[in-house]
Amino acid sequence: MSVFDKLGRSVAWAARRRNLQGRKPTFGVVGAATPPVSTEPPPRTIKPAEYGLPPRADLVDKLAEPHPLTVAALAAVERRDTGAIMAVIDTAGTDWERRHALVTALAGQADDDDSWLTAWLAAEPDNPIALAAYAKNLSTTAFAIRTASRAEDVERDQWEAFFRVLRQAPEHCLHAAAVAPDDPTPWVVLQTIAQGLQYDNDEYRKIFGEVVSRAPYHVHAHAAALSYWLPRWFGSDELAESFVNEATLGKPAGSLLTHLRLQWFYFERIPKTDADRADFYHGPEVQAAIDAALADLRAAATDRPAYPTQRHWLAYFLTRAGRYAEAYEMFRQIGSYYGGWPWTLSSDPAGRFTGIRAEAVIGWEDAGRPPLPEQIGSGS
């Protein structure tokens, strides 16, 4: 076989493997999921300022206001001060979720220009933070190559570049894990890479096991795993449901894992017709999941990286379930930030966010402006 044949092989292999499994992954984890509900704008609109909400022009494509440690870390990157970066990491200590969030933020700073990160890695080849951030950057670069399009709309050379870049990532995760054996971060980074590289279920369970043995309630790791176990990827309805039950039931209040059930509903359970959808959102299953998520949020520390994520999911589901006063209150707490799921799963995240927000406010108006709940989680 000549070197001519070589370059197309990985993609052909990937295509075969998909065919064998009889499905094409839609890469919903990076935002390709078709919103299962109508995106038609509501017939009425609101003036956000009249309700103490920021107007669309002031909205920010971020999950929430950046954490002070993230701000400090990014400032250190600007100064190319790797010592200061490590000082920030040390401040986070064994708050593994915070550490993962910091590594993700560092990787994001290399999206346009990775020279500072490669220089850091060249100077400190065994630095677990540099290694993990570099692996995370390879992963996000690969998924940017793939784009969030449906698999059939991704061109052959995109697939090739996706796999070529992504295949370079695992070694850095494993290296980081070897030099920082207590830190689950490299394993969490590896989860998304493993999903892109189509690791089989047992391989994936091993990686997830490495995470939860170090950080049993790591919310990002659980959300990533739920993606993997969806039928559109490498799981099934049964595997996804049992994973959600395992992840959410019997966990301490404040773990912030309860929104996984909402995430699962959003991806897999929403009915096709408007009438069925209304029944579903108002039905006991969703109501119970919302109640559990609200109780979880109330018990959680507000500085957890997953705290805003939980709020975004609740804002969406409270609105859809017709619990407008709670929904409105949730949107007040969220403020200007819309850069998280479920909004970013839409092709127009800001439009999706303001549309649902308007629905919540109008619903609250139509209900005669009932009093807003006092205790729904701490305001930000």
Partner 1 sequence: VVTKADASAPALAREVAFAYLLTAVALYVVVRGVFVSTRVRHRHIVGVSVTERDEPALWERVRFPARSVGTRAPSRIYLVPDVNAAVWENAKLLGLIPGRRSMMIGMPLLMALTPAQFDSVIAHELGHYGSRDTRLGALDHRARESVMAAVAAAQGRLTGRRKADGKPRRLRLPGQVAYAAVFRAYARLVLSVTQQASRRQEFAADRVAAGIAGQATAAAGLRELPAVEAAFNFYIDRYVAAGIERDLLPAPGEVLGGFGALLAEPSRQTELDELRQDPTAEAPDAFDSHPAIRDRIAAIEALPPDGRPLDTSDARAIATLSDSAATLCAVGARMLVRNGAGKQPVDWDTLATAAGADRAARSADPLRIAVASFYQQPRPLSGLLDAVDAGHLGEILDRLPKSDGATNVKSGSRAAREVAKTSMMPMVAAWALAELAAQGRVRWRNSWADAAGAIEIAPDLDEKLRAALDALAAVQPDAGPMRAVVYAMGVPA
Looking at beta carbons only, is 112 or 374 nearer to partner 1? 112
Looking at beta carbons only, is 133 or 138 nearer to partner 1? 138
CA distance linking residue 160 with residue 92, whole number of Å: 37
Build a one-symbol-per-residue string for 326-365: x at contacts with partner 1 by CB under 8 A, - elsewhere.
----------------------------------------
CA distance linking residue 41 with residue 45, whole number of Å: 9
Looking at beta carbons only, is 153 or 291 nearer to partner 1? 153
145 binds partner 1 (CB under 8 A): yes
CA distance linking residue 177 with residue 174, whole number of Å: 5
Looking at beta carbons only, is 113 or 374 nearer to partner 1? 113
114 binds partner 1 (CB under 8 A): yes
CA distance linking residue 156 with residue 154, whole number of Å: 7
165 binds partner 1 (CB under 8 A): yes
Q: 340 is written with which tokens?
A: 């998280």
133 binds partner 1 (CB under 8 A): no
135 binds partner 1 (CB under 8 A): no
CA distance linking residue 33 with residue 163, whole number of Å: 21
157 binds partner 1 (CB under 8 A): yes
Looking at beta carbons only, is 24 or 206 nearer to partner 1? 24
CA distance linking residue 134 with residue 112, whole number of Å: 13
Q: Is the dihedral of CA 232, 135, 211, 252 positive or negative?
A: negative
111 binds partner 1 (CB under 8 A): yes
Output b/e per residue, 49-81; b: 16+ Cβ within 10 A: eebebbeeeebeeebbebbebbebbbebbeeee
Looking at beta carbons only, is 153 or 237 nearer to partner 1? 153
112 binds partner 1 (CB under 8 A): yes
Q: 220 is written with which tokens?
A: 């990002």
Distance, CA of 375 to chain centre: 26
CA distance linking residue 40 with residue 9, whole number of Å: 43
6 binds partner 1 (CB under 8 A): yes
State in angstroms the smallest separation of the CB of 32 from partner 1.
13
CA distance linking residue 24 with residue 193, whole number of Å: 17
82 binds partner 1 (CB under 8 A): no
The burial class, CB within 10 Å (0-12 / 13-18 / 19+), for 374 is exposed
Binding segment for partner 1 (CB under 8 A), chosen from 78-86, 139-147, 233-241, 332-340, is 139-147
Judged by CB under 8 A, the chain residues 22 through 81 that form the site for partner 1 are none
State in angstroms the smallest separation of the CB of 169 from partner 1.
9
Looking at beta carbons only, is 161 or 174 nearer to partner 1? 161
Whole-number Cα distances in Å, 61 to 23, 165, 220: 32, 26, 19
Contact residue for partner 1 among 36, 108, 118, 278 (CB under 8 A): 118
CA distance linking residue 197 with residue 191, whole number of Å: 10
Looking at beta carbons only, is 20 or 122 nearer to partner 1? 122
State in angstroms the smallest separation of the CB of 4 from partner 1.
6
160 binds partner 1 (CB under 8 A): yes
Query: What helix, strand, coil percent values describe the chain, rounded to 5?
Result: 65, 0, 35
DSSP state of 268: I
Contact residue for partner 1 among 18, 67, 164, 205 (CB under 8 A): 164
State in angstroms the smallest separation of the CB of 171 from partner 1.
11
Q: Which residues pair with 337 in a beta bridge?
A: 60
CB 221 within 8 A of CB 191: yes
# chain residues binding partner 1, by CB under 8 A: 26
173 binds partner 1 (CB under 8 A): no
Give the binding site for partner 1 (CB under 8 A).
Answer: 2-4, 6-7, 111-112, 114, 118, 138, 141, 144-145, 147, 149, 153-158, 160-161, 164-165, 168
